[in-house]
């Protein structure tokens, strides 16, 4: 089973590029998008509806053109849940959970801590609520948790760690929250399979960062430890353009 996750930085913007071609080239069983920036309710209003897929998507109700997650799946899920416990954070459209026979797929766009870390406290509460939510699901079925998680976990995961220790996405608080997630029984699949590889999934649009190789690895596939032996590959596709992120993929035998 192939799964792809891609922060597209606006679905309408990326559709003007090669996204449709890239989507089809993966032939993924599940393909999720982060930061769609799409604000209209209803599946039929979504600007990309590929044949052979069921679509589920969120919108932000607090700000137009903000956040948003979408999931395309060939197989219809048993159930779909938006947000975390009691639909918390659903107003920012950050989480969709699809239940399948053998696993839960949780597509997530984790909040950025923002300039001057103004949303760091909000982000830390989100992380606590997220772990609680995942653990509750994990008691029933294994989890595949994917998306733009907005954290470079270790120094290997960004080009300039020493100058970014107080930057959103590399604070000790955010890194410790990701460590806590892993300590609760989950595995970062890319780092598990590629312990020493330096590869990035996001680059600033400023200063020709992507051209210069100045990036961060902040897009992930995380799975329950109970199914890590089912993972066949976990890759970062930095040959694909169209966004300030690139897609990440997981091949897993479930």
Give the DSSP letter of residue 47: S
Q: Determine contact, residues 219/148, Cβ cutoff 8 Å.
A: yes
- In the numeric block, the tokens 């509750």 are attached to 136
Helix (H, G, I), strand (E, B) or coil at 70: strand
Q: Rounded CA gap, 237 and 253, in Å?
A: 20
One of 89, 109, 186, 220 is an active-site residue; which one?
109
Q: What is the 3-state secondary structure (H, E, C) of 84-121?
A: CHHHCCHHHCCEEEEECCCCEEEEEECCCCCHHHCCHH
One of 22, 29, 90, 148 is an active-site residue; which one?
148
In the numeric block, which tokens belong to residue 206? 């400023």
Q: What is the rounded radius of gyration, in angstroms, for the C-alpha atoms of the chain?
A: 17
Q: Rounded CA gap, 86 and 42, in Å?
A: 21
Sequence-separated (6 or more) residues with CB below 8 Å from residue 41: 59
Q: Determine contact, residues 42/15, Cβ cutoff 8 Å.
A: no
**Cα 10 from chain centre:** 14
Quick one: which of 214, 126, 220, 219 has its CA closest to 173? 126
Q: Examine the residue annotation and report whether 148 is marked as an active-site residue of this protein.
A: yes
Q: Please give the positions annotated as active site.
A: 109, 148
């Amino acid at each position: 089973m192939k799964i792809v996750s891609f922060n597209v930085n606006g679905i309408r913007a990326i559709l003007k590029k090669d996204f449709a071609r890239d989507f089809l080239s993966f032939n993924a069983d599940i393909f999720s998008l982060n930061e769609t920036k799409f604000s209209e309710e209803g599946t039929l209003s979504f600007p990309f509806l590929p044949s052979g897929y069921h679509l589920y998507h969120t919108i932000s109700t607090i700000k137009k053109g903000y956040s948003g997650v979408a999931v395309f799946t060939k197989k219809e899920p048993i159930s779909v849940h938006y947000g975390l416990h009691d639909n918390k954070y659903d107003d920012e459209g950050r989480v969709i959970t699809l239940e399948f026979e053998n696993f839960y797929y949780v597509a997530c766009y984790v909040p950025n801590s923002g300039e001057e870390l103004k949303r760091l406290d909000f982000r830390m509460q989100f992380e606590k609520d997220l772990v609680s939510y995942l653990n509750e699901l994990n008691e029933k079925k294994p989890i595949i948790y994917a998306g733009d998680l907005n954290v470079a976990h270790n120094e290997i995961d960004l080009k300039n760690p020493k100058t970014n220790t107080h930057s959103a996405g590399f604070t000790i608080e955010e890194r410790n929250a990701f460590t806590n997630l892993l300590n609760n029984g989950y595995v970062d699949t890319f780092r598990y399979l590629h312990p020493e590889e330096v590869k990035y999934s996001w680059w600033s649009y400023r200063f020709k960062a992507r051209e210069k190789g100045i990036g961060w690895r902040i897009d992930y596939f995380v799975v329950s430890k109970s199914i890590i032996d089912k993972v066949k590959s976990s890759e970062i596709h930095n040959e694909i353009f169209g966004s300030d992120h690139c897609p990440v993929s997981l091949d897993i035998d479930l």
